[in-house]
Structure 1
């Protein structure tokens, strides 16, 4: 097991150059705002696509972009295209704000669209999972995913928007939790689907990059380097390292 962990951690460090750090959502607990290393709205938007601030149908200002009349650009540091703010009050998780980048701002400021989307309606997230809230000092920053390391964390288990457990963990116990959660994640159908998709994407990328169309202006040396890059498919350990870095299997409930 220790050997597997060492392999995963070494791959984890290599993958830093391929993934991008993400702007986190926010959560208010006991009237204090923290970063939230989960994205509870993602599943909600899968089930309610019209409510998505960018890709839904409720905000008229985005019609010209969805129709292809204009291009819309967002930062790679926010692949969600929004920042949500949640609140835990009376042991209930709720959404209290939703912001997107202001398209009219040269400084890429964020503007709230919560009222435009939902009015005074209370949103039922129907979220179940383990929320990860860093509460301690930042020890090691990492520009990929949500992989920065902090001294202290608060974990909160949610069942259909209701808090059922919470606990403070130091960094060592948090890392142990992450490995336990990932081990269980590997047993899920979601993992199997993502693993298969990763291999398929790699094969499609290989076919595209080695195509005559892509290599016709390359030198022999460049083509040889590209062929070497795709000489062997990614190993299971490499793929697991990538998933460990960028995936967020918060739906996998484990002990902590």
Structure 2
């Protein structure tokens, strides 16, 4: 929740960091690699801040400091790779370095059985590019529901259906007690009341953990 609040408030204060399009994580799904507009490891790092990758070259296009690659194998989510940018003095430029062995040294620890949430996989042409976060619109999307690291179900949508899906997902979410608590929390943290619902609707797949509508 904390990382979500940081993104949310920074978005509406036009922070330079979050006003830049971000490098997404990646996922291998049905033998194909996709960009992943969800960052599952952030939930882990919120609870294990000491494990967050260090000595990385931070940039406004990579606020979290790393790119993770995931894979769904026999309906189970795994982290396959974690890379950071480091400075190479010989070439005088940045390069990618694997740090997965530093964070998850044991292969069995790479099973993401603690994650609940929706994974958003965009694909096809970019319909509308927005130079901020993951705000660009793609031609198609796959939404995957994950519970305790297990694949539950998925939806394939074009960009118009995706917008309608988020609308319905948000309307269902508004009926929950969690919605009321989150509004209070966001208001307490300084977000103007008039912005709250609009942003929550846009980023509904980031904080809801189940497909609430069919």
Could you tell me how far apart the structure 2 residues matched to 1:188 and 1:33 are? Answer: 37
Residue 178 in structure 1 maps to residue 166 in structure 2: yes
What residue number does 1:48 align with?
A: 48
TM-score by length of 2: 0.78
Could you tell me how far apart the structure 2 residues matched to 1:190 and 1:103 are? Answer: 40
Out of 199, 206, 210, the residue aligned to residue 249 of structure 1 is: 206
Q: Which of the two has higher C-alpha Rg?
A: 1
Task: Work out whether residues 145 and 245 of structure 1, in 8 Å CA contact, stay in contact via their aligned partners in 2.
Answer: no
Instruction: Measure how far apart 1:173 and its partner are.
Output: 1.2
Gap change, CA 1:47 and 1:124, over 3 Å in 2: farther
Instruction: Measure how far apart 1:84 and its partner are.
Output: 0.5
Aligned Cα root-mean-square deviation (Å): 2.8
What residue number does 1:196 align with?
A: 188
Q: Name whichever structure is richer in helix by fraction.
A: 1
The one-character-per-residue Cα deviations of 1:79-106 (angstroms, maximum 9, x if unpaired) are 1111010001111111000011113364
Give the 3-state SS of the residue equivalent to 1:28 in structure 2: strand
Could you tell me how far apart the structure 2 residues matched to 1:198 and 1:247 are? Answer: 20
Residue 102 in structure 1 maps to residue 86 in structure 2: yes
What residue number does 1:222 align with?
A: none
What residue number does 1:147 align with?
A: 135
Gap change, CA 1:20 and 1:189, over 3 Å in 2: farther
What residue number does 1:130 align with?
A: 118
Out of 97, 105, 112, the residue aligned to residue 98 of structure 2 is: 112
Q: For structure 1, list consecutive stretches of 5 or more residues without a partner in the other structure.
A: 1-11, 55-61, 63-71, 200-233
Could you tell me how far apart the structure 2 residues matched to 1:97 and 1:141 are? Answer: 27
Give the 3-state SS of the residue equivalent to 2:88 in structure 1: coil
Give the 3-state SS of the residue equivalent to 1:100 in structure 2: strand
Q: How does 1:24-43 map to 2 (within 5 A)?
A: 24-43=24-43
Task: Work out whether residues 19 and 143 of structure 1, in 8 Å CA contact, stay in contact via their aligned partners in 2.
Answer: yes
Task: Work out whether residues 27 and 86 of structure 1, in 8 Å CA contact, stay in contact via their aligned partners in 2.
Answer: yes
What residue number does 1:221 align with?
A: none
Could you tell me how far apart the structure 2 residues matched to 1:73 and 1:86 are? Answer: 22
Q: Name whichever structure is richer in strand by fraction.
A: 2
Q: Number of residue pairs matched?
A: 193
